[in-house]
Structure 1
Amino acid sequence: MIRVLLADDEPLTRAGIRAVLAADPEFEVVAEAENGRAAVELAAAHRPDVALLDIMMPVLDGLAAAAEITRTVPATGVLILTTFSAAEHIAAALGGGARGFLLKTGDPRDLFAGIRAVAEGAAFLSPTVAHRVIQQVSGDRLASAARARRLVDELTPREREVLALVGAGLPNAEIARRLHVVEGTVKVFVTSILRRLAVANRVQAAIIAYEAGLV
C-alpha cells in the first residue's frame, strides 16, 4: 500500500484525484490539505510515502511546501501535480526537492506511475512534458551534447540500455520487467550509472540520456 497526502485548494480537484486513486487498491489517501501550510503539518503527522502537491495554494504555495516537506520529512517523496508547466516552476520544484512533476491534463496512468516511482525513491517526469523539461533544464544544468555523448560512451552497453530507460521516465520495476532482470539488479545499475556520470539523481541522468541521443 502506498500512502498518499493530497494537497490542492480546489475541493472538486481533490475529489477527482481521490476517485482516480481509489480505483487502484495499491493507493490510499491518508490525508488532504487545502493549503501548503496544512500539507506540511499533515506530512509531519502522517508520514505518507508521497505528498502530491499543487503549486498554486494559499498560505504557503506548493513549491515552498515541497521544500519544507523535503527538509522536515525526508522519507516522504514530493510529487508536483499542477496545470503550470513554465520553466521557472519546473526548475523551482525540482530544485526544492520534488522528485517528480506531472500535469493535471495528463493521462491518469502517468499519475499512477509517478506516485509509484516517487514512493520507490526514484524521480518521475510525465512523458508528455519530459522532453520539454529536459530541454528547458539541460541548458542551465548540464554540459553540451558532445560532453554527454563522451560520458555515455564510458558506460557499458548494459548501463547505456538502463540509462535509456531511465531517460524515458520508467521506474525501476518497469525497467526490470523490460530487461528480464530482478529489480535489485536495476538498482545496482542505476547507482553505478549515477556515480559514473557524476550526477546526483535520475532527472540529471535523464537529461544526459536525452543530450546523448539515447531518448
Structure 2
Amino acid sequence: MKRKSFLLVLTLSILLSAAICEAQSSVQTTVTPCDSTLSAKLLNSERIEKKFGSYGIDVLYNTAQLRVSNLYDGKKITRTLAVVDYPETIDSSFAKEHQLIVAGGSIGNVFKSHGWIIEKKNIFLGELAPSADYKKLYALMGNIPPSKLSIWIYVFYIRKEGKSFPYATISEIYHPDYLSLANIKCIANVAGTELPVTKAASAELKKVTKLAALNFTPRPVEK
C-alpha cells in the first residue's frame, strides 16, 4: 500500500513539474504583437498622423547631397528629425519624384503616391544618450528635458515594374513619446536581435549626431 502511495505521489510530482515547465516555456516564447500604429506598412508620416491626428513637414536644410527635415504633429511638436543622404545619381526612372522631394515633398508620400513599392534595409537601431548638445532639438520636441532619443538608420529602396533602386540613406531620430527603441525594433521586425555596428553605421551616426545639434545655417529649399 505504501509503495502504491509513493508511486502515485511520484507520478503526480513528475506531471506537475512537466506542466510548470510547459507553462514557463509558453510564457518565455510569447511575443507581444505590435499595435496598429507600429505596422511596417505605414509611412512615418502616416504613423504620425494616425497617432497624433495630423502631420506636417518643414525642410530645415537642403543641398544636392543632404536634407534635414522636421516632421511634426498639429501642435508643431517635432516627432521625427530626419536626415536624408540623397543618391549620387538620379536615375530617369525617379527623376520627377526626386524633384518633388527636393522642392519639399515628403519622401515616402511622394514615392507611394506615384506607385512605387517602398522597402527598408536596416543599418542601425539604437538610442542617443541625453545631451546638452541637443537642446535645440529638445526645444522643437516641445521643450522636453534632456532625454534618450531612439534612432533608426536605413537604406530607403524603391521598386516598380521590375526595377529596384536604393534611393537614399535615411536617419530618423524620434520624440520619446512617439517611438521608443522597442517600438522601432517592432516596426523593423528585429525585436530580440542586435545589429552589428559597422563602419558605415558609425560614420553615419557621427554625422547625424552632429546635425542633430541643429547648429547649421538654415538653407532654403532648392526649387
Q: Flag whether TM exceeds 0.5 (same fold).
A: no
Give the TM-score normalised by the residue count of structure 2.
0.25
Greater helix share, structure number: 1
- Relative contact order, CA 8 A, sep 6+: which one is greater? 2
**Structure of larger gyration radius:** 2
Greater strand share, structure number: 2
